Amino acid sequence: MDAMSTPLPTADARVCADPCAGPCAGCPDRIVCRCLKITEEVIVGAIHGLGLRTVHEIRSATQAGTGCRCCQMEIRELIEVHVQAFSPSPSMCSAR
């Protein structure tokens, strides 16, 4: 089988390994979007500083996830972690 007849992987079959997994996972300068070299710090900054809550909003503001889209699951996970960590707890209110 030559290179021209080898089927390309589908989007679901891609393996998107984190080149910086392990001890440095979670470092602010860790690259999340490898296509555009966008770091975790930029994405987390957009979540907190701009109040972004969706992958679409992150893509629009930072361009992360607009290339091969392999990082979108990780962007979604960052949103979940950082929105929950900094969301104000619901206020307790009693109507009397």
Q: What tens digit of pLDDT does each residue of 15-55 get?
A: 555 555 544 556 778 899 999 999 999 999 999 999 999 99
What is the pLDDT of the chain when averaged over all its residues?
77
Token pair, residue 88, equals: 């104000």
What is the distance between the alpha carbons of residues 82 and 79, in angstroms, rounded to a whole number? Answer: 5
> What are the distances in angstroms from CA 38 to CA 28, 32, 35, 72?
11, 6, 8, 12
Q: Are 52 and 46 in contact (CB under 8 A)?
A: yes
Confidence of residue 13 (pLDDT cuts 50, 70, 90): very low
Q: Which helix (H) or strand (E) holds 33?
A: strand 31-33
User: What distance in Å separates the CA atoms of residue 49 and residue 7, rounded to the nearest whole number?
Assistant: 43
Type of residue found at 88: P
